[in-house]
Amino acid sequence: MKNIVTVKGLLVLTLALAAISCKNSSSKNSSKATGWEINSKDGGFQYNTQYKEQETAPGLVFIEGGTFTKGQVQDDVMHDWNNAPTQQHVQSFYMDETEVTNIMYLEYLDYIKRVFPPSADGFRAIYNGALPDTLVWRNRLGYNEVLTDNYLRHPAYAEYPVVGVSWIQAVEFAKWRTDRVNEHNLAEAGYLDKNAIRTETTASSNFSTGAYINAPSQTFSGNEEIKTQGRTGKVRTDADGNETNVYATRESGVLSPQYRLPTETEWEYAALGLAELREFNVYRGRKKYPWDGQYTRSSKRRTLGDQMANFKQGKGDYGGIAGWSDDNADITAQVKSYNPNDNGLYDMAGNVAEWVADVYRPIVDDDFNDFNYYRGNVYTKNAINEDGSVKIVTTDDIVYDTLSNGRVVARNLPGDILQIPIDEQETYLRSNFSSSDNRDFRDGDKRSSRYYADFDSDDSDSGKSKMYHAPKNTITRDSAGNIVREYDKSNNKTSLISDEVRVYKGGSWKDREYWLDPAQRRYFPQDMATDYIGFRCAMSRVGSKTKSNTKTRK
């Protein structure tokens, strides 16, 4: 009798839970604003009500945001005076576990070569503009030709960080990576044909994430076979016979945010890995390197004396004496050769220094903003055709840019939406921004913002006061189309800083120990490359600050 009662009780409890579950499920698909059904088969508002949280995209690790002191260097032996400590808050984000490797970049080059064959006159500059500069390895008094010939492509260097890549090229790689990852996500979710996106993608039928969001019917130049063969079970028909759920939208939760370069603040925060120094809600002590401790060698018994990164240990010493004391690398090292920091990131010191997104300035203006600090915003918007549709770039609309070193690069690719600067429609009576280009916003104090046109007439057409007066080397073409390179020979230039120089962070295989401090910062022209600067990508976190499996305090 007791067992029968127990069984009945369990049955009632199960039915009650099922009813609650059905009620919750029903309420989740009912609008709290209007009571109307969401995701109805008859049409109406469609939204992913089952979305949990952002999935970690390929190659990335999660970095939980927080507050830290940026620019807190241990030493300033160079007397740069460009690192005033400032307290900053960083939102949660994702960052590549390792630096972008040669094999990752070769996959990018392979795609460019297949889709935009350099044998075609109209596409040659696209491939050539994406190629790393392998000549960065040359040294007038050194024999490095083996690296010039082999470092990028030989399988022995496949998992080594790519170098010879300018900041501009790194940004273009991140754009390409975004599109390929979202293309894959859409195929996995059933919105695209998995096979077709490999075999039917051409220069005139290319995929762009921005174009898919804003004009999905025009993606792949309207090739519906790519978009319809993968839709099995997705398409619904409303009461009027119109198809719904044909394309994924932002509301679907299928598309990842863009890959991009990390900001300087994000990079430094991620490199420090301060969680290992946290005690309750306070950081105890200061960190000099991405690892714990004040020295470059390991203090753990099993690895006692091992170098924690590869760097130039002294004059003529790029790796130490062969044997036990060697750091196992004289140039770059294969990624993951050394232990990760507390955030799970490898080579945040040593190996190669890394490009970050910021335009370089000696002063960090934390008085104006101390949240997600970044200097370099240039706001754009989608170009619109006369009929109100977005303007998709075709093979005839590719915009090429001649860089200061004479190299030609493509600024957009077919399938992208043409971007133009924002105008008064977006800026009128706004308090948070008033122009498209904000690289010079609050750039220094009045005493340092002298108008240098008085010294050099070639700046008189700029129409604004300038704080910096960098050389301007010019690239022009003669009547035959040949590039003419002219050097700025003025003696009145006062700085190498301009809006075209970017910050790079971290010490490299070519640097002394001093530069391994994550707070150290340097700059380099955005269109030039070296044998010691590489990069890694980041991605913004959307939604909650912490991941759902994070334990909360009771």
Higher per-residue pLDDT: 380 or 4: 380
Q: What are the structural domain ranges in the chain?
A: 48-189+250-376+502-546, 448-498
The model's pLDDT over 147-179, given as tens digits with 9 standing for 90+, comes to: 999 999 999 999 999 999 999 999 999 999 999
Average pLDDT over residues 415-420: 92
Predicted pLDDT at 112: 95
**Chosen CATH of 48-189+250-376+502-546 out of 1.10.3720.10, 3.30.1490.190, 3.90.1580.10, 3.10.20.30:** 3.90.1580.10
pLDDT at 108 over 60: yes
Three-state secondary structure call for residue 101: strand
Rounded distance between C-alpha atoms, residue 551 and residue 554, angstroms: 9
Contact status, residue 174 vs residue 543, Cβ threshold 8 Å: no
Average pLDDT over residues 7-30: 59
Average pLDDT over residues 299-328: 78
Average pLDDT over residues 403-415: 87
Average pLDDT over residues 517-529: 94
Q: How confident is residue 39, by pLDDT bands cut at 50, 70 and 90?
A: confident
Residue recorded with tokens 């062969």: 322
Predicted pLDDT at 89: 95
Give which of 489, 522, 479 is closest to 504, Cα–Cα: 522
Taking all residues of the chain, what is their mean pLDDT, rounded to a whole number? 83
Q: What is the CA radius of gyration of the chain?
A: 27
Higher per-residue pLDDT: 240 or 212: 212
What would the 3-class secondary structure string for 340-389 be? CCCCCCCCCCCCCEEEEEEECCCCCCCCCCCECCCCCCECEEECECCCCC
Contact status, residue 102 vs residue 152, Cβ threshold 8 Å: yes
Give pTM, 2 decimals. Answer: 0.88
Residue recorded with tokens 């950081």: 283
Q: Where are the alpha helices (H) located in 232-313, listed in sequence order? A: 264-272
> In this predicted structure, which of 86-95, 147-156, 342-351, 449-458 has the lowest mean pLDDT?
449-458
- % of the chain with per-residue pLDDT over 90: 46
Predicted pLDDT at 470: 83
Rounded distance between C-alpha atoms, residue 29 and residue 46, angstroms: 10
Higher per-residue pLDDT: 254 or 201: 254
Higher per-residue pLDDT: 290 or 436: 436
Give which of 232, 216, 215, 224 is closest to 196, Cα–Cα: 224
Q: How confident is residue 185, by pLDDT bands cut at 50, 70 and 90?
A: very high
pLDDT at 452 over 60: no
Three-state secondary structure call for residue 21: helix
Predicted pLDDT at 308: 74
Higher per-residue pLDDT: 437 or 243: 437
Q: How confident is residue 284, by pLDDT bands cut at 50, 70 and 90?
A: low
Predicted pLDDT at 428: 92
The model's pLDDT over 59-103, given as tens digits with 9 standing for 90+, comes to: 999 999 999 999 888 777 777 778 888 999 999 999 999 999 999
